[in-house]
Amino acid sequence: MNMTPTVKAILDTYESDNPGVKANLARMLMHGNLGGTGKLIILPVDQGFEHGPARSFAVNPPAYDPHYHFQLAIDAGLNAYAAPLGMIEAGADTFAGQIPTILKLNSSNSWATAKDQALTGGVDDALRLGCAAIGFTIYPGSDHFFELVEEIKELRAEAQAAGLATVIWSYPRGGELSKEGETALDVAAYAAHMAAEIGAHIIKVKLPSAHIEQKEARNVYEGADWSNQADRVRHVVQSSFAGRRIVIFSGGAAKDADSVYQDARDIRDGGGFGSIIGRNSFQRPREEALAMLARLQRIYKGEE
Amino acid sequence: MNMTPTVKAILDTYESDNPGVKANLARMLMHGNLGGTGKLIILPVDQGFEHGPARSFAVNPPAYDPHYHFQLAIDAGLNAYAAPLGMIEAGADTFAGQIPTILKLNSSNSWATAKDQALTGGVDDALRLGCAAIGFTIYPGSDHFFELVEEIKELRAEAQAAGLATVIWSYPRGGELSKEGETALDVAAYAAHMAAEIGAHIIKVKLPSAHIEQKEARNVYEGADWSNQADRVRHVVQSSFAGRRIVIFSGGAAKDADSVYQDARDIRDGGGFGSIIGRNSFQRPREEALAMLARLQRIYKGEE
Amino acid sequence: MNMTPTVKAILDTYESDNPGVKANLARMLMHGNLGGTGKLIILPVDQGFEHGPARSFAVNPPAYDPHYHFQLAIDAGLNAYAAPLGMIEAGADTFAGQIPTILKLNSSNSWATAKDQALTGGVDDALRLGCAAIGFTIYPGSDHFFELVEEIKELRAEAQAAGLATVIWSYPRGGELSKEGETALDVAAYAAHMAAEIGAHIIKVKLPSAHIEQKEARNVYEGADWSNQADRVRHVVQSSFAGRRIVIFSGGAAKDADSVYQDARDIRDGGGFGSIIGRNSFQRPREEALAMLARLQRIYKGEE
Amino acid sequence: MNMTPTVKAILDTYESDNPGVKANLARMLMHGNLGGTGKLIILPVDQGFEHGPARSFAVNPPAYDPHYHFQLAIDAGLNAYAAPLGMIEAGADTFAGQIPTILKLNSSNSWATAKDQALTGGVDDALRLGCAAIGFTIYPGSDHFFELVEEIKELRAEAQAAGLATVIWSYPRGGELSKEGETALDVAAYAAHMAAEIGAHIIKVKLPSAHIEQKEARNVYEGADWSNQADRVRHVVQSSFAGRRIVIFSGGAAKDADSVYQDARDIRDGGGFGSIIGRNSFQRPREEALAMLARLQRIYKGEE
Amino acid sequence: MNMTPTVKAILDTYESDNPGVKANLARMLMHGNLGGTGKLIILPVDQGFEHGPARSFAVNPPAYDPHYHFQLAIDAGLNAYAAPLGMIEAGADTFAGQIPTILKLNSSNSWATAKDQALTGGVDDALRLGCAAIGFTIYPGSDHFFELVEEIKELRAEAQAAGLATVIWSYPRGGELSKEGETALDVAAYAAHMAAEIGAHIIKVKLPSAHIEQKEARNVYEGADWSNQADRVRHVVQSSFAGRRIVIFSGGAAKDADSVYQDARDIRDGGGFGSIIGRNSFQRPREEALAMLARLQRIYKGEE
């Protein structure tokens, strides 16, 4: 498919990046059924690591096999597939050249005693495995936030020089943030902004609620009506350099299909760039997941 | 012996690894009495370091001599012998080329105040000592887990580039895990999965009990009958990339021979790849140990 | 514009610096409407990172866009624009060569649990982005002060060798300092002096109050009348190597315009080198901000 | 487009390469009008450097502009575009992500006094410019051959580790080779084989004549009928690891269209993998070149 | 002065360069009396090194002093000043920030027995001396050409990463080139093209004669009328990526003023980007030189 003006315009906002990074952003933006639209759906599969294999895959046992996810992402015409080292290595040769991949460089797990993540891969791994980008999680608010920032600073610089894009999962938690605050609107916008400040090419946050967490921020948000999810999405995108950075949203735990569709419509209507959708796809039977992903693509294309 | 289709099929699952790593996996899989069957029995001798020499060897004094273990593994026709630096250095010349060896790179001890391990060897040691693989212990759940992961990340990358395989001992402990939970089914499956995610070529876990430790995981396991050990083995193998990674099991402290045999039958019937069997072999008199290991090999061959 | 004797005299005080550092100091001192006067007004925009995007930009929504700030600094004829990595990358190509930039290398945020900052960029970033200087915040008084000092020691040496100037934000906080003490006269003077000691080419402190924080320092300050802000400015400049280092002052949160003008008159009359003015410029509507900055420039020129 | 069995089978022959190299080979094999067929047409534009700009571009002046060639390769639906550093840098941003590129790392020129080439770029350039492969010319027979081999040995290792493919232009010349011998069948086959031996992923040679140059080789070739060009192509492919390496052919100086088409038919019928076609495309008017390249694609697809 | 559309359009052609390189190109293009016009006049003073001090400076003895040249370039409002290490070091502090400088990294001399140059400075020198660019001479045609190319390949990469521009003096000589051929039209065009291919940001060649040197190139040039110098300039610019690279011209030895003016008119009319003018300026008395340079600037502005 030829480069579209929409995608070209997005690439142009990454104005200080070298052609290698732009080419890898283009690989993701031009791939799959949404290729060329400027929208993305990415399949992330790090839940086995983060929550354990049974909690992640028992509901749909073929998903224990790493090949299942590569094939699902390919068959669904998604833009990219993201996973940690072991999952990528287990399929990177079989599926070489078939879908852009994002190597998730750090991971946590259910038993972690600190709000931190451990590095499990590097930029050299991403290159030898043919990935288009590195992925990295930060926990704004956590006591470990500064360490995580300094880790991604080094990794991003190395990746950028080698022409790889950087995707940052920005998940506020820890410190004085309440549980409800982790998905508060002001918190999500701030988390997205910090990811942009440290140089993310693609920012991944959770869809925010209408809750406002920070006392100091309340008067800024008061008076406006934040009940519409599309408006909240718009605010997060605005907070990410006024749309100069790709922001995609996750919906969290598996839920009913209609909620997933409504989320996508809100992301689209609020000017978001797409969805990163893990459990809601691979925890459904394959045919059901393919149907859902196809419908999400139609929604992002504005067809329904 | 010629490469068998069974072993070739196992090697093919390591699809992103270079021929050097595959050749070293093949060295282990094609060696000894189980060579070519796709099953392995490995002799590990780090108990002197971990529990003290007398607790480990007094019951069978010839075992104080490192040569004893090399010779036992060779005479028993095992697939490989694993030990820390000193133990390997003490026999690597005499037995050069006679049995694949695994250099255990980190070790703990009885007096350790932290659930951590100390590095005692490196990839360069493994190369100069002619080893087929490096070995490394992680403690999922421990406060030191992230540090251990970041250590093995570096070591594995170095080993892989040099064509060495990586064997990870994944032993959950610490944090909020109960003592019973350390061998719980859900915990063992998760521990094996994490080892696969961080890139283990061979994963070593303990045979799991039917206990389920994690509250969040309970509903996933409920309703199924986990009383059969073979089923539990099958679940751990499934959790290790659906059988795309070699998983071997240890039986723990020395016990009666029949239990050891039954464990092997369950590992075999559950699709496990074999046993790593230390105290149950070297703490028995040599002839008795040889007889037991021969019988285990017959079990793995399906002959009894 | 030709080099002025005033600027030449300032450059001469940096007598151990190489021509590269001096040329970059000159770039800032000779640029914009105050070019050649020896005075500077710098626009800093790290508030999105430090306080969150909505608290910083909602009052003037065009300011969510990084280009807004580059353009504001250029159109206002300021001497330089300072921001963290992401903000600079988002406009460095479009505005290349149009205004000297300062890459802020470390940042904190509202949720930080420690009085510390995280590195988000390096000297190599400053060079590839065409910056004239690096910026760095230290927190004298904080438990993390020594670490921050050792970080800037390394960065400053690297920057200096590459001909980049170093701007240090010196913000006392933490330890036994009271809240009121953070802007105390003795504390501000001490903070500026420490920045000079660690090699800052440009020192940025807050305008000090007349409060004296340190018991041990009280008798030194007693007897003098510190009620005049210009006198306090003079003392801070005196404490920064008797005027041999450029010291600029910030006014803190947005306030009424007359206070901003009075601050500038006091800085000027006390021998300060200028203002770093963020929220008081970009949180006003653009036209109002341009008018205020133009008036500040007239004040620094002694025209009103 | 989905990966085809034909391309997958080609990728499988690069069995010791990491997924990164395979993904980049796949990028070229799956791109453009021949994507998926296992055939390639590549546009190389190093003639400005090798022969001078006027001799290369005066016949079709728009071709002086580096953008012309990127656009030609894209509009013609070619598989890749190859050029030296300057030519790639002059268009890599505008055309990022639109066509796989090959960075030619060394170049000679008309005035060279030695049969050698100078390095003008590196693997780091290829990465930052988003290239799929590096290109390198060797001169088997030249006094400088060993130096060239040792250069590409280092570059190939660095490229391979970073997941980039290596394309080797193998041009026999110098030493005791006659002018006629440079394109002799035995010489071309030998040159292709040497490129395979030093690790080329893609080998580029000239279409060989029926001449046999080496006395020692004559009796091997005697008795067979080498008058059919397709047979000669088949022999070169056979000499390149029996078809396990992609071999593409150049036709040399511009010539009449029918000869170009016949060459392509012979390459196809002899089992060659495609054409690298420079002067015969960009020295024709654009519309004529597009028509010729479209016809060549039909020939490679077996449609005429 | 604000960035002009003319200069912005030139910067945009350096599309793969980072903002640092563009900012330094902008510094030169926006400086001095021609600032913003897209035209440059640069003062180069390496003749003392290349031809000896007396031959260079005796005719105008104040020119023995390095400060003379800095001051001349500043007072004449030139765009930049280029010289080797010693000459730059002797004035870089005094004139810091007053004029963009180009550190000439290699030099030859009258006694050289080879057509080669020796390195006398590095990129780190250029940075610590506050230069906007590095300068480097290549001798296309010389036996040492390949070595020179490989030297500048490394230096250019280092400079580019640090945000410095690269100026290449491309002087054909040696090998089979005749003396007349060194300034032949075909040779100058080829020399400029090679500089572009190896990544020059600014190319410096001599004004070419109408002579055609290369037999193989003759038929390309025949039939056209090359008697007009502006047409020859246009061809050299066209050969330098169709105007995507800045090409400036030197006039060689000192000559009468009218010839110098006519050269400038021809460079301007042929689309050249300006003059690099050494002996014709500093070998004249200062006032005469200033007058000549002022007139040249008026010519480039199209005012006469």
Contact A26 D161 (CB under 8 A): no
Q: Is D208 helix (H, G, I), strand (E, B) or coil?
A: coil
On whether the CB atoms of residues B43 and B68 are closer than 8 A, the answer is no
pLDDT of residue B112: 85
Q: Which helix (H) or strand (E) holds C123?
A: helix C123-128
Rounded distance between C-alpha atoms, residue E2 and residue E24, angstroms:
15
Contact A176 C113 (CB under 8 A): yes
Rounded distance between C-alpha atoms, residue B199 and residue D206, angstroms:
44
Rounded distance between C-alpha atoms, residue C289 and residue C280, angstroms:
8
Indicate the residue of E22, E26, E128 with minimum beta-carbon distance to C163.
E128
Query: How many contacts does B have with D, using Cβ atoms within 8 A?
Result: 7
Q: Does C253 touch chain A (CB under 8 A)?
A: no
Indicate the residue of A64, A94, A117 with minimum beta-carbon distance to B239.
A64
Both structure tokens of D63: 């071709």
Provide, rounded to the nearest whole percent, the portion of chain A with pLDDT above 90: 95
Contact B18 D16 (CB under 8 A): yes
Q: A292 CB contacts (<8 Å, ≥6 apart)?
A: A257, A260, A280, A281, A284
pLDDT of residue C61: 97
Angle CA E81–E87–E90, to nearest 5: 110
Rounded distance between C-alpha atoms, residue D166 and residue D103, angstroms:
10
Residue D301 pLDDT exceeds 80: yes
Q: Does C24 touch chain E (CB under 8 A)?
A: yes
Rounded distance between C-alpha atoms, residue D252 and residue D207, angstroms:
8
On whether the CB atoms of residues B217 and B186 are closer than 8 A, the answer is yes
Contact B146 A53 (CB under 8 A): no
Rounded distance between C-alpha atoms, residue A177 and residue A184, angstroms:
10
Rounded distance between C-alpha atoms, residue A180 and residue A211, angstroms:
8
Active site residue A39: no
Provide, rounded to the nearest whole percent, the portion of chain E with pLDDT above 70: 99
> Rounded to a whole number, what is the distance in Å from the CA of C207 to chain E's nearest CA?
30
pLDDT tens, D91-133?
Answer: 999 999 999 999 999 999 999 988 999 999 999 999 999 999 9
Residue E2 pLDDT exceeds 90: no
pLDDT of residue A255: 81
Which DSSP string corresponds to C194-256? HHHHTT-SEEEEEPP-S----HHHHHHHTTS---SHHHHHHHHHHHTTTTTSEEEEE--S---
pLDDT tens, D147-191?
Answer: 999 999 999 999 999 999 999 999 999 989 999 999 999 999 999
pLDDT of residue D251: 77
Rounded distance between C-alpha atoms, residue E299 and residue E258, angstroms:
12
Q: Do chains C and B touch (3 or more CB pairs under 8 A)?
A: no
Residue A288 pLDDT exceeds 80: yes
Q: C162 CB contacts (<8 Å, ≥6 apart)?
A: C20, C123, C127, E124, E127, E128, E162
Rounded distance between C-alpha atoms, residue D238 and residue A255, angstroms:
57
Active-site position among E204, E206, E255, E301: E204
Rounded distance between C-alpha atoms, residue D160 and residue D158, angstroms:
6
Blockwise average pLDDT, block size 10, chain B, 304 residues:
94 97 98 98 94 94 96 98 96 97 94 89 97 97 95 97 98 94 96 97 97 94 95 97 97 82 97 96 96 98 94
Active-site position among D22, D115, D204, D206: D204
Long-range contacts, E218-223 (Cβ 8 Å, 24+): E220/D54, E220/D55, E220/D58, E220/D59, E220/E186, E221/D54, E221/D58, E221/E185, E221/E186
Rounded distance between C-alpha atoms, residue C243 and residue A242, angstroms:
41
Among candidate residues D75, D11, D24, D32, the one with its CA nearest the CA of residue D297: D32
Provide, rounded to the nearest whole percent, the portion of chain A with pLDDT above 70: 99
C-alpha dist (Å) from residue D124 to C252, D146, D161, D164:
44, 24, 12, 11
CA A226 to mean position of chain CA atoms: 23
Strand positions, DSSP E, chain A: 40-44, 80-84, 101-104, 106-107, 118-119, 133-138, 165-170, 202-206, 246-250, 274-276
Q: Does A127 touch chain D (CB under 8 A)?
A: yes
Q: Is E185 helix (H, G, I), strand (E, B) or coil?
A: helix
> Rounded to a whole number, what is the distance in Å from the CA of E255 to chain C's nearest CA?
31
Both structure tokens of B198: 């961080």
* Alpha-helical runs (H) found in D207-285: 215-221, 229-239, 257-269, 279-282
pLDDT tens, D6-38?
Answer: 999 999 999 999 999 999 999 999 999 999 999
Among candidate residues A130, A204, C116, B227, the one with its CA nearest the CA of residue D164: A130
pLDDT of residue B234: 98
Q: Residue C183 gets which letter from DSSP?
A: G
Query: Locate tokens 């610490």: which residue?
Result: B174
Where on the phi/psi map is residue C62: left (φ > 0), alpha (ψ -120 to 50), or beta?
alpha
On whether the CB atoms of residues A201 and A154 are closer than 8 A, the answer is no
Active-site position among B39, B104, B115, B204: B204
Active-site position among A39, A104, A204, A206: A204
pLDDT of residue B251: 76
Rounded distance between C-alpha atoms, residue D149 and residue B194, angstroms:
43
Among candidate residues A10, A87, A79, the one with its CA nearest the CA of residue A293: A79
**ipTM score assigned to the predicted complex:** 0.95
Indicate the residue of D19, D30, D97 with minimum beta-carbon distance to A23.
D97
Nearest residue in E to C25, CA atom: E97
By the 10 Å C-beta count (0-12 exposed, 13-18 middle, 19+ buried), A231 is classed as middle
C-alpha dist (Å) from residue C15 to C245, D244, E85, E94:
11, 66, 20, 11
Chains touching C (at least 3 CB pairs under 8 A) are: A, E
Among candidate residues C129, C36, C38, the one with its CA nearest the CA of residue C82: C129
pLDDT tens, E228-268?
Answer: 999 999 999 999 999 999 999 997 666 899 999 999 999 99
Rounded distance between C-alpha atoms, residue C156 and residue C146, angstroms:
15
Provide, rounded to the nearest whole percent, the portion of chain D with pLDDT above 70: 99
Rounded distance between C-alpha atoms, residue C174 and residue B124, angstroms:
47
CA-based torsion, E209, E210, E215, E218: positive or negative: positive
Instruction: Give pTM, 2 decimals.
Output: 0.96
Greatest pairwise CA separation for chain C in angstroms? 54
Rounded distance between C-alpha atoms, residue E157 and residue E123, angstroms:
10
Residue among B14, B16, B21 with most chain D CBs within 10 A, to mutate: B16
pLDDT of residue C1: 65
Query: Locate tokens 């600190």: which residue?
Result: A114
Q: Which residues of chain C have pLDDT under 50?
A: none
B-chain CB neighbours of D16 within 8 Å are 18-19
Q: E27 CB contacts (<8 Å, ≥6 apart)?
A: C97, E100, E132
Among candidate residues A226, A289, A223, A303, the one with its CA nearest the CA of residue A260: A289
Rounded distance between C-alpha atoms, residue C134 and residue C100, angstroms:
11
Residue A251 pLDDT exceeds 80: no
Indicate the residue of A143, A146, A239 with minimum beta-carbon distance to C54.
A239
How sure is the predictor about A1, in pLDDT bands with cuts at 50, 70 and 90? low
Q: Residue A147 gets which letter from DSSP?
A: H
How sure is the predictor about A252, in pLDDT bands with cuts at 50, 70 and 90? low
